[in-house]
Amino acid sequence: MKKRQLGASDLLISEISLGGMSLSTDKKQAASIVDMALDAGINYIDTADLYDFGVNEKIIGEILGNRRQQVILATKVGNRWTEGVEGWHWDASPSYIKEAVHASLQRLGTDYIDVYQLHGGTIEDDWDGIIDTFEGLKKDGLIREYGISSIRPNVLKRFLPASHAKSVMMQYSALDRHPEEWFEFIVSEGASVVTRGTVAKGLLTNSWQQRLQRSNGFNSYTAEELTATLTELASHYDDLHALALAFNLKEPVIASTVIGASSQEQLAQTLAAYEKIDAIVDFTAVNKLTKQEQYREHR
């Protein structure tokens, strides 16, 4: 498993990383996937305090145990559960971030977080306060680096130039190319992209035909456009799963692509696809067949 530098940091993270959100709350089942990922050379695990009311962090922390030092651990903050109220609300206040980081540290069973990410953001947020808070957490040794999970251009333009953020988590795939417009800007600010949604809800895997039957389109693709696009892609590329990974990782700005797995079989499929990406060197067809769109909102 190759590794890449996360922005201008000292962190080297695996090109494929494990997304915690898909892990079972059954510790034994989750452990089988985490163990398999570590054995394959994956060293970056991404979770959030939001997932399963914090249970996801707790399970990952317990599974890692004394292997914590082997892993670059990332989690997120900003979506706040309110006891007795359904759902959550956005809270990026400095006071809540300081409170939440200690709760995450306790659940994860560690005394530091490698990459602490703001789990969203709006242009109305107190960005000076947020940045000062992250910088303070870094100075105190509670976090090593920080970043943001956001696809909003106006938020990125406000946050990155004013901070020392090293990562931007964004949904990006051959079927969702909106972020490409901002890759050069992100690099210029000393950050890397960590992608989510790389396999587009399974549409960019070798189960694409079955997924199509349960899909009524994807993003701006109508059902008819999606069928035509995937059929054409499959005629040009032998393995759509491998293509999905290769398409993202061909971009130097992308440090890693986060892939979720709810079973060892799913993780095995991703690892097998990863072994094939070096053989994919011609992206002419996929660039031509897919839409290169730009964000219309939050500019």
Q: Per-domain residue ranges for the chain?
A: 12-200+254-278
Element (H, E) at 118: strand 113-118
In 111-239, which residue ranges form alpha helices assigned H by DSSP?
127-139, 153-162, 183-188, 208-213, 223-236
Higher pLDDT, 192 or 91: 192
Q: Which of 44, 51, 116, 172 is catalytic?
A: 51
Task: Report the 10 Å Cβ neighbour count for 201.
Answer: 13
pLDDT score for 85: 67
Radius of gyration of the chain (CA): 19
pTM over 0.85: yes
Query: Which CATH architecture describes the domain 12-200+254-278?
Result: Alpha-Beta Barrel (3.20)
Task: Report the 10 Å Cβ neighbour count for 235.
Answer: 10
pLDDT score for 197: 96
Residue 20: C-alpha distances to residues 75, 108, 125, 267 (Å):
9, 12, 27, 12
CA 198 to chain centre: 9
Could you confirm whether 116 is annotated as catalytic?
no
pLDDT in tens, 12-54: 999 999 998 888 889 999 999 999 999 999 999 999 988 777 7
Q: 71: exposed, middle or buried (C-beta count within 10 Å: 0-12, 13-18, 19+)? A: buried
